[in-house]
């Protein structure tokens, strides 16, 4: 049976490696960050992803899963190498491919026989070809001629539901160059083949484009409903009822029709920008996506404006911010709308009292320099102590069922900004709050 290595043990690589081991494979997970590897070897999981810790523990116990920082060990001992390192955005919106290229170079330097190199990282169209060239160059420098294939296998998992998504995908996309690579991938995904998962087999470039086109489409859908919500605010309509009725149309579907402070996370913001850059570079601008990027940035401004126009001068005002991560059930704060809002409120002079069930550590790490303006609290009730206003920025379950009289009794002011529309106006106003939400001016 072919051994699998997964390079990069972040939100994607750790799930891919662990779930592959759970499918019965022998898996080596490689990360250059030695402290992550040493934690993982002690059973300490560096990210919060529901269900993942138990599966890691089980597969460590059965010795199907190994963690190492030794590239040679991981590359020499696997025939299939998944690449799941980060592809963060550069200042200009382009994709920073340095981590992906570093892995390609290492594979070329260390490989000792045929390898299938599987790109899980989200990479611009054409990157598989560049990876191939880099590996070939290293082989040439070594004067050896091992065979290899580069497969594009973009990942669609959602943080917070990553284990389920990886093991129950809507589809698996495989960009392959030849039958040999396809046979290897069919074997790798045998469990999912047997489960009748649809497989989309195509070339590298098309597979790479499918990932960007899918993410950008969802980003456009979110921006669309946000703009409709903003219009509802002016027009006196209820965006929830609009979205619900729209979603009943099978051609539209109810998913991703939830208005709020805009999309965030490590994927949509950077992937939309990358696709827009690609469009410009190839002389075929994708105006719709460019507009969604602008709309998403405006949405943050609109949320801050809601607070400013209700509360007025924010100098020394205490604001409780509930939810810091970009979505619930993750500790990931990358591009989180909550934090973009927080930064602007601090700029306007506000003193923040923040709480998130899983995102506190990452937030403290990033905002250590703003200690004077941010108080980190133990729970939502402590965050509301003495607050003039409360903002729900991320819809963690525990914020959906708060003891509102208790919250009110802790607060000095009565402003309640429900940026995820999790409450009904009546149930909040009854306790003396001034309720503000997104696109429900009458508040159903």
Ligand X SMILES: NC(=O)c1ccc[n+]([C@@H]2O[C@H](COP(=O)([O-])OP(=O)(O)OC[C@H]3O[C@@H](n4cnc5c(N)ncnc54)[C@H](O)[C@@H]3O)[C@@H](O)[C@H]2O)c1
Binder of ligand X out of 72, 90, 102, 237 (CB under 6 A): 102
Is the separation of the CB atoms in 72 and 110 below 8 Å?
A: yes
The verdict on 220 binding ligand X (CB under 6 A) reads: no
Q: Report the nearest approach of ligand X to the CB of residue 167 (Å).
A: 15
Stretch that binds ligand X, among 84-92, 228-236, 310-318, 424-432 (CB under 6 A): 84-92
Among 269, 256, 273, 375, smallest CA distance to 324 is for 375
Is the separation of the CB atoms in 16 and 93 below 8 Å?
A: no
> Ramachandran region of residue 439, left (φ > 0), alpha (ψ -120 to 50) or beta?
left
Is the separation of the CB atoms in 324 and 354 below 8 Å?
A: yes
Stretch that binds ligand X, among 1-9, 221-229, 304-312, 430-438 (CB under 6 A): 1-9
Q: Report the nearest approach of ligand X to the CB of residue 4 (Å).
A: 15
Buried-state track 108-130, b at ≥16 Cβ within 10 A, e below 16: bebbeeebbbbbbbbbbbebbeb
Alpha helices in 50-149 (DSSP H): 52-61, 71-76, 98-110, 127-142
Instruction: Point out the residues that are catalytic.
Output: 267
Within residues 258-277, the interface with ligand X by CB under 6 A covers 266-267
Q: Report the nearest approach of ligand X to the CB of residue 118 (Å).
A: 12
Parallel, antiparallel or unpaired: strands 318-322 and 199-202: unpaired
Q: What residues have CB less than 8 Å from 183, skipping those under 6 apart?
A: none
In the chain, the N- to C-terminal Cα span, in Å, equals 58
Q: Which is nearer to ligand X, 362 or 421 (CB)?
A: 362
The verdict on 133 binding ligand X (CB under 6 A) reads: no
Binder of ligand X out of 80, 85, 209, 360 (CB under 6 A): 85
Q: Report the nearest approach of ligand X to the CB of residue 428 (Å).
A: 32
Binder of ligand X out of 4, 27, 31, 257 (CB under 6 A): 31
User: What is the signed CA dihedral for 118, 122, 128, 129, rounded to 10 degrees?
Assistant: -170
HSE-CB at 365 with a 13 A cutoff on CA atoms is 8
The verdict on 331 binding ligand X (CB under 6 A) reads: no
Q: Which is nearer to ligand X, 68 or 230 (CB)?
A: 68
The verdict on 155 binding ligand X (CB under 6 A) reads: yes
Stretch that binds ligand X, among 24-32, 140-148, 248-256, 306-314 (CB under 6 A): 24-32
Rounded CA Rg of the chain: 24
Binder of ligand X out of 68, 122, 295, 325 (CB under 6 A): 122
The verdict on 152 binding ligand X (CB under 6 A) reads: no
Stretch that binds ligand X, among 3-11, 180-188, 232-240, 408-416 (CB under 6 A): 3-11
Stretch that binds ligand X, among 30-38, 53-61, 224-232, 240-248 (CB under 6 A): 30-38
Binder of ligand X out of 52, 103, 339, 407 (CB under 6 A): 103
Binder of ligand X out of 99, 164, 224, 256 (CB under 6 A): 99
The verdict on 36 binding ligand X (CB under 6 A) reads: yes
The verdict on 66 binding ligand X (CB under 6 A) reads: no
Q: Calculate helix-pair angle for 127-142, 98-110, nearest 10 degrees.
A: 40
Q: CA-to-CA distance for 331 and 160, rounded, in angstroms?
A: 9
Going by the DSSP 8-state scheme, the letter that residue 90 receives in this structure is P
Contacts to ligand X by CB under 6 A: 7-13, 30-33, 36, 84-87, 99, 102-103, 120-122, 155, 157, 159, 266-267
């Amino acid at each position: 049976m072919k051994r699998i290595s997964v390079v990069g043990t972040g939100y994607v690589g750790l799930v891919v490696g662990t779930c592959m081991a759970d499918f019965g494979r022998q898996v080596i997970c490689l990360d250059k960050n030695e402290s992550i590897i040493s934690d993982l070897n002690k059973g300490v999981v560096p990210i919060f992803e529901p269900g993942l810790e138990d599966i890691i523990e089980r597969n460590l116990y059965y010795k199907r899963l190994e963690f190492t920082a030794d590239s040679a060990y991981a590359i020499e001992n696997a025939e299939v190498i998944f690449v799941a390192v980060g592809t963060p955005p550069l200042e200009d919106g382009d994709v920073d491919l340095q981590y992906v290229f570093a892995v390609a170079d290492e594979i070329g330097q260390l490989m000792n026989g045929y390898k299938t190199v599987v790109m899980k990282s989200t990479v611009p169209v054409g990157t598989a070809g560049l990876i191939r060239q880099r590996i070939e160059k290293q082989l040439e420098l070594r004067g050896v001629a091992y065979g290899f294939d580069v497969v594009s296998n973009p990942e669609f998992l959602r943080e917070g539901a990553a284990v389920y998504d990886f093991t129950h995908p809507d589809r698996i996309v495989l960009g392959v160059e030849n039958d040999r690579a396809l046979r290897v991938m069919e074997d790798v995904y045998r469990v999912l083949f047997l489960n009748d998962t649809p497989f989309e087999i195509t070339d590298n470039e098309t597979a790479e484009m499918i990932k960007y086109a899918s993410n950008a489409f969802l980003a456009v859908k979110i921006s669309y409903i946000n703009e409709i919500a903003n219009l509802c605010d002016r027009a006196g309509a209820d965006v929830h009822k609009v979205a619900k009725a729209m979603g009943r149309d099978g051609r539209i579907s109810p998913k991703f029709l939830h208005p709020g402070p805009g999309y965030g996370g490590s994927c949509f913001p950077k992937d939309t920008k990358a696709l827009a850059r690609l469009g410009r570079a190839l002389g075929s601008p994708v105006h719709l996506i460019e507009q969604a990027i602008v709309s998403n940035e405006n949405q943050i401004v609109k949320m801050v404006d809601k607070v400013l126009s209700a509360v007025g001068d924010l100098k020394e005002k205490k604001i409780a911010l509930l939810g810091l991560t970009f979505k619930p059930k993750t500790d990931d704060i990358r591009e989180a709308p909550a934090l973009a809002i927080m930064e602007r409120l601090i700029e306007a002079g506000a003193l923040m009292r923040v709480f998130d069930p899983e995102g506190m550590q990452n937030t403290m790490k990033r905002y250590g320099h703003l200690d004077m303006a941010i108080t980190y609290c133990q729970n939502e009730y402590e965050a509301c102590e003495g607050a003039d206003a409360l903002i729900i920025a991320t819809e963690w379950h525990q914020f959906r069922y708060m003891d509102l009289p208790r919250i009110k009794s802790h607060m000095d002011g009565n402003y309640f900004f429900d940026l995820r529309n999790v409450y009904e106006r009546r149930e909040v106003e009854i306790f003396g709050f001034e309720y503000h939400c997104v696109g429900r001016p009458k508040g159903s």
